Amino acid sequence: MSTATRSRPRFRPGDWVCFLYGSRRVLVQVIEDRGPIGVHGRRLYRVMFDQSTDEPTTFEIPEEDLEPAPEIAPAHVAGERGFSTQNWPREAIEVSFTRQGRTNRWTVLADRAERIRGLTTKGVVGYSTANRGSETVADESHTSVLVLIERDPRLSDSHLGDHPDMIRALVDEAIGMATVTFRSHHPEAVVERKGIERAKN
């Protein structure tokens, strides 16, 4: 193999790659090709590691330790494939349940509120309901459940295009978690999905 062939970079700034970090793989983004400046002329890349904070961690890593990132997947699928999702940002999704008149039928509406960095918490983190002090659970007409879902950091990369199926999967996961919590308060409720109020990237 010629020197020219060996020195041709496999990755470019902006590419998403992965590498083994302990016993799990992690997703990182290449931010700089440092060239063949490593030991014995190894090509180094500067990568951005921690997507969960406002000030991500960056460091250099040899080209041979990197692999192309796999396709975008929900957190539970990535975990099954041996990836860590701890450094992923969180998608805050508010799931609202509204009673239909005096019936036991409720509609559920998901509102993708915002993307949050710097949190490791996930799952249901809030439950609130609007009622007067004298009302009972049976009198409640509106309930909101806040859910934090791990979000593949590549979903925020505009160069990779839209991923409506992946966004739908995030929302479905949040609705599923919220409904379990809601039913612990309203076990007899009949829940009908209404839709997604708004979507922010």
Q: How high is the mean pLDDT in each 10-residue block of the chain (201 residues)?
A: 60 95 92 89 89 74 95 90 88 92 91 73 89 68 92 78 80 93 92 64 42
Residues 6+ apart with CB under 8 A from 169: 74
Within 10 A of 113 (CB to CB), how many other CB atoms are there? 15
Structure tokens at 185: 């308060």
> What pLDDT, on a 0 to 100 scale, did the predictor assign at position 1?
40
Tokens 């990568």, located at residue? 47
How far is C-alpha 192 from the chain's CA centre?
25
The closest alpha carbon to 93, from 50, 52, 123, belongs to 123
- Looking at the chain, which residues constitute the CATH 2.30.30 domain(s)? 12-69
C-alpha 74/C-alpha 167 separation (Å) is: 9
Domain 12-69 part of CATH 2.30.30: yes
> What pLDDT, on a 0 to 100 scale, did the predictor assign at position 26?
92
Give the containing element (helix H, strand E) for 172. helix 164-185
Length of the chain equals 201
> What pLDDT, on a 0 to 100 scale, did the predictor assign at position 4?
41
> What pLDDT, on a 0 to 100 scale, did the predictor assign at position 194?
73
> What pLDDT, on a 0 to 100 scale, did the predictor assign at position 187?
92
> What pLDDT, on a 0 to 100 scale, did the predictor assign at position 87?
80
